[in-house]
Amino acid sequence: MLRLVLTLFACALMFAQGASAQKYPDRPIRLVVPFGPGGSADAIARPLAERLGAALGQQVVIDNRPGGLTVIAADMVAKGAPDGYTLYLMPGTHVLTHLLVAKVPYDPIADFTPVALIGAQPYFVVANVEQPYKNFAEMIGYAKANPEKISMGVSDAVTRVVATALEAAANVKFTIVPYKGGGPQNTDLLGNQIAAAIGTPNMMGFVDQGRLRAIVMSTPRRVPFLPQVPTVTESIPGSDFDVQTWYAIAGPAKMPEPVVRRLQEEVGKVMNQPEVRKKLDDLGVVTPADISSRATLTLMRDYQARMTKLVRAAGITPE
């Protein structure tokens, strides 16, 4: 009798979820972005939100919630109803917050439902054009001949990890200069107050203008938006260097599977639209073949495990 009751309950629950998914969405959806307007994350979120809203027949509203190294936005999502009406533009740093922030009020994996993977975004080393090296081999040679003379700007904890990992891979020593944000860092880099920096694709304009020089990529393979720039692995055989960030769509834990499938399907269609595809390409976002929730969860776990080692090697402690 107990088995029969449990079976009937499970069937009723599945029926209720299916019925809910059939009418989903019937009101606007909020997409929480953990950074302010104008940055890379916001530039990724807006075309996706606009096209996803059109596909779903309901407006997808961007809600920018910067601060706390993404903890403010993520906590809001984790505490939201798992009904598909509160979504999160999840950056790769989300799964590292417990390593960077002293008190995180949620589990970055268990308290979220991965929906769809948008893609990876690389880091790259950029140098002021007045510096004497034009490629990574020359930069390594200069750094070995002049220990700590290359001042390397970093704008947050993750770019600091990239710089430290790069030192280890190349067996060189930089003078790492921390900044509170990309704006002050870029001003000093353009003014040749620092020699180089760990860059992100939103600095591509300076490279295109000839004001900065792209030296090397952090990805295991060359990326389409800078095909002429080699990778660390190419430059240092056997280094297996791979330090990127990524973005995904997620929601609170325990979202109904039919709603997750519907969102995943529509996000996939939107990402294949030519205008959105071009926007992502321009932002240096490399989309994967598999964007599924399962692939996203695997990436979250793998990235957390791999980056934890690098964060600790960099000597970064929670603040």
Tell me: do 170 and 227 sit in the same domain. Answer: yes
Tell me: do 116 and 128 sit in the same domain. Answer: no
What is the pLDDT at residue 5? 46
Tell me: do 179 and 80 sit in the same domain. Answer: no
3-state secondary structure of 121: strand
Looking up residue 84, the CATH number of its domain turns out to be: 3.40.190.150
Domain membership of residue 138 (yes or no) is yes
Which of 298, 304, 296 has its CA nearest to residue 267?
296
Number of Cβ within 10 Å of residue 6's Cβ equals 10
Domain membership of residue 207 (yes or no) is yes
Tell me: do 92 and 140 sit in the same domain. Answer: no
Looking up residue 135, the CATH number of its domain turns out to be: 3.40.190.10
Residue by residue, DSSP assigns 123-174 as -EEEEETTSS-SSHHHHHHHHHHSTT-SEEEE-SHHHHHHHHHHHHHHT---
Domain membership of residue 283 (yes or no) is yes
Burial 50-62 (b: 16+ CB within 10 A, else e): bbbbebbebebeb
Tell me: do 281 and 227 sit in the same domain. Answer: no
Tell me: do 270 and 250 sit in the same domain. Answer: yes
Tell me: do 114 and 253 sit in the same domain. Answer: yes
Domain membership of residue 253 (yes or no) is yes
Taking the alpha carbons at both ends of the chain, their separation in whole angstroms is: 54
Give me the residue label for tokens 């990778």.
231
Domain limits at 61? 24-120+245-313
Tell me: do 78 and 95 sit in the same domain. Answer: yes
The count of domains in the chain is 2
| Among 235, 255, 290, residue at a domain's last position | 235
Domain membership of residue 257 (yes or no) is yes
Domain membership of residue 30 (yes or no) is yes
Tell me: do 306 and 231 sit in the same domain. Answer: no
Which mean pLDDT values do the consecutive 10-residue runs of the chain (319 residues) have?
52 49 90 89 94 97 93 97 98 93 96 97 95 95 95 90 93 93 91 95 89 94 88 88 94 98 98 94 90 97 94 87
Q: How many helices (H) and strands (E) does the chain have?
A: 12, 10
Peptide bond into 258 cis (omega under 30): no
Tell me: do 135 and 166 sit in the same domain. Answer: yes
Rounded CA separation 272/28 (Å): 23
Q: What's the predicted TM-score (pTM) here?
A: 0.85
What is the pLDDT at residue 289? 93
| Among 204, 235, 266, residue at a domain's last position | 235
Tell me: do 171 and 226 sit in the same domain. Answer: yes
Tell me: do 57 and 196 sit in the same domain. Answer: no
Domain membership of residue 42 (yes or no) is yes
| Among 215, 235, 255, residue at a domain's last position | 235
Domain membership of residue 2 (yes or no) is no
